[in-house]
Structure 1
Amino acid sequence: MQIKFFCPRWGSHQSWESFCKLGKEAGFDGVESPLSGDKEEETEMMAALEKYGLLYIGQYYQSFEQDFGLHKQSYQTHLRHLAALNPVLIDAQTGKDYFTEDQNRELFAVAQKVSDDTGVIIAHETHRNKALFAAHIAKDLLANNPEAVITADFSHWCNVSESLLEQQQEAMEIAISRTVHIHARVGNSQSAQVSDPRADEWKAEVAAHLNWWDDIVKYRLNKGADLLTITPEFGPDPYMPALPYSKMPVANQWDINVYMMKMLKHRYKELESR
């Protein structure tokens, strides 16, 4: 099984040329990014990805419409736009926590239709404010939507539940079994992002997330999967804690994501060769 690592465009303000060059030199296999809607920038992005031999994961986050009908239409438009670029997969922040279960299931059905039509996998992200915002909610939605696969970002669930999910084993088991993509960010009971995963004070949180990611890797391996994708997704402010008044970040986002990529590459090197 191959494990491919992607760097997040989130937080970068460089040109696509310099960003892709930096990502390639750091050792990433690809880039994960939404589309801005600017065709010139989209062309620049695709050219830079091709130049540096980088893969692409599309990202949908534009779930802003409160009206469900408008939201559903916009959702489909964005997914089809991303799918037309033939990404490795699409990470979708599907739905809303205030939509009904039936409405969120409608959106899963829309995504499945787009996936069936295009052949592009759409992975629904476990993200606050979205359909899969909490472990106990996701457990039922995934059980009732057996074709749905996910992007596992368990940092959000830790924050929502104010825990390391110790009492939600059943939900974690179904989530692990549906994961095709990982957002490797470490959260805690009060935030979706620890200040710096290299710091000793976050050992328990890092260990918990590593155990979940290990279980995903082993599950995919045992099922004979060809590929697992991972994006270290530590973000900028306001995810990254900052000093008051100056707003200076307490750590370097890029350095942390490169560290996470290298650490996980080393951790899974032996498993990947099986």
Structure 2
Amino acid sequence: MKIKFFCPRWGSEQLPWDEFCFKVKEAGYQGVEASVPFDEQEKDIILNALKKHNLLLIGQYYQSFEEDFEVHKTSFRKHLENTIKARPVLIDSQTGKDYFTSEQNKALFAIANEIAVASGITIAHETHRNKALFAAHIAKQLLTDNPDVLITADFSHWCNVSESLLEQQPEAVKIAVSRTVHIHARVGHAQSAQVSDPNAPEWQPELDAHLQWWDAIVKSRLQNGAGLLTITPEFGPSPYMPVLPYTKMPVSNQWDINVGMMQLLRKRYES
């Protein structure tokens, strides 16, 4: 099984795409995770930069802003179909809302499955706050009720929502591990979806917990005969990154932390 690492565009939006892709390639990533714009000229700039630097794309959908379900559903399909046109390796989808009913979120999963089957591109639904899979106990039931749903595992959100390291929810973690095709490798804790620096000794228990979950995902993919696992180290900028009061200076360097996480996991799984 191959493991490929992707760099988030999030936090580097100020860089022109060509400069960004050069930096990504130099750091050792195999691809980029980013949203795909509707504007064809902007889309061409992105795809040309990726091609120039021999980088893959994971498309990202996060534009879940419509409160009205019918409007939301139409927008969801439109965004996914637009992202498919870029022919990404897969799509990471922040699907649904925590305030939608299970039937409404199920309808969104069905739309994604229809598009995935028609295109041959996997759509992985992210375990993200405010979305359908926002909490471990909710995701456990939704995944049980929707056996075709595959996920992006970002357990940092579940730690924050549950104010725990999920010690009391092993069954929810187990089913999530079995459905994971993509990892967002960010370390969260009981009070936030992002620790200040995963290398700091005070965050060792949180890092260890996430590493155990990621190890289980790698093992599950291997046992299932998967040919590929994708990982995006996804520590974010402010407000995910803690900042100093008044100056708003970040307490750590987002780019360095993500590159360091990639290097840690590459070494951990190289065999």
Which TM bucket (shorter chain)? Answer: over 0.9
Q: Which residue of 1 aligns with 2:156?
A: 155
Q: Which residue of 2 aligns with 1:241?
A: 242
Please give the residue correspondences for 1:72-221 in structure 2 after superposition, counting only pairs within 5 Å.
72-221=73-222
Q: Which residue of 1 aligns with 2:47?
A: 46
Alpha-carbon distance in structure 1 between the residues aligned to 2:55 and 2:72 = 32
Q: Which residue of 1 aligns with 2:223?
A: 222
Give the deviation of 1:39 after TM superposition: 2.5
Alpha-carbon distance in structure 2 between the residues aligned to 1:36 and 1:241 = 29
5+ residue gaps in structure 1?
Answer: none
Assess if the C-alpha contact under 8 Å between 2:36 and 2:86 holds in 1: no
SS in 1 for 2:219: helix
SS in 2 for 1:182: strand
Post-superposition Cα deviations, 1:127-151, rounded to whole Å, max 9, x if no partner, equal: 0000000000000000011000000
Give the deviation of 1:238 after TM superposition: 0.2
Q: Which residue of 1 aligns with 2:64?
A: 63
Alpha-carbon distance in structure 2 between the residues aligned to 1:36 and 1:51 = 19
Letter in 2 for 1:9: R
Alpha-carbon distance in structure 2 between the residues aligned to 1:165 and 1:202 = 16
SS in 1 for 2:144: helix
Mapped pair 1:7 → 2:15: no
Please give the residue correspondences for 1:249-268 in structure 2 after superposition, counting only pairs within 5 Å.
249-268=250-269
Assess if the C-alpha contact under 8 Å between 2:58 and 2:89 holds in 1: yes
Alpha-carbon distance in structure 1 between the residues aligned to 2:132 and 2:90 = 19
Letter in 1 for 2:254: Q
SS in 1 for 2:98: coil
Give the deviation of 1:36 after TM superposition: 3.4
Alpha-carbon distance in structure 1 between the residues aligned to 2:114 and 2:225 = 25
Alpha-carbon distance in structure 1 between the residues aligned to 2:255 and 2:19 = 14
Give the deviation of 1:84 after TM superposition: 1.1
CA shift in 2, pair 1:241/1:58, >3 Å: same
Alpha-carbon distance in structure 2 between the residues aligned to 1:90 and 1:36 = 14
CA RMSD of aligned residues (A): 0.6
Letter in 2 for 1:190: Q
Letter in 1 for 2:54: G
Post-superposition Cα deviations, 1:189-235, rounded to whole Å, max 9, x if no partner, equal: 00000000011110000000000000000010011100000000000
Letter in 1 for 2:67: Q
SS in 2 for 1:41: helix
Alpha-carbon distance in structure 2 between the residues aligned to 1:250 and 1:18 = 25
Alpha-carbon distance in structure 1 between the residues aligned to 2:38 and 2:8 = 18
Letter in 2 for 1:147: D
Alpha-carbon distance in structure 2 between the residues aligned to 1:265 and 1:252 = 20
Alpha-carbon distance in structure 1 between the residues aligned to 2:117 and 2:216 = 28
Letter in 1 for 2:60: Q
Alpha-carbon distance in structure 2 between the residues aligned to 1:200 and 1:53 = 37
Give the deviation of 1:178 after TM superposition: 0.0
Alpha-carbon distance in structure 2 between the residues aligned to 1:200 and 1:134 = 27
Aligned residues: 270
Give the deviation of 1:113 after TM superposition: 0.4
Alpha-carbon distance in structure 2 between the residues aligned to 1:41 and 1:86 = 16
5+ residue gaps in structure 2?
Answer: none
Alpha-carbon distance in structure 1 between the residues aligned to 2:18 and 2:85 = 22
Post-superposition Cα deviations, 1:217-265, rounded to whole Å, max 9, x if no partner, equal: 0010011100000000000000000000010000000000000001100
Give the deviation of 1:41 after TM superposition: 1.9
Letter in 2 for 1:155: S
Q: Which residue of 2 aligns with 1:37?
A: 38
Assess if the C-alpha contact under 8 Å between 2:92 and 2:123 holds in 1: yes
TM-score when normalising by structure 1: 0.98
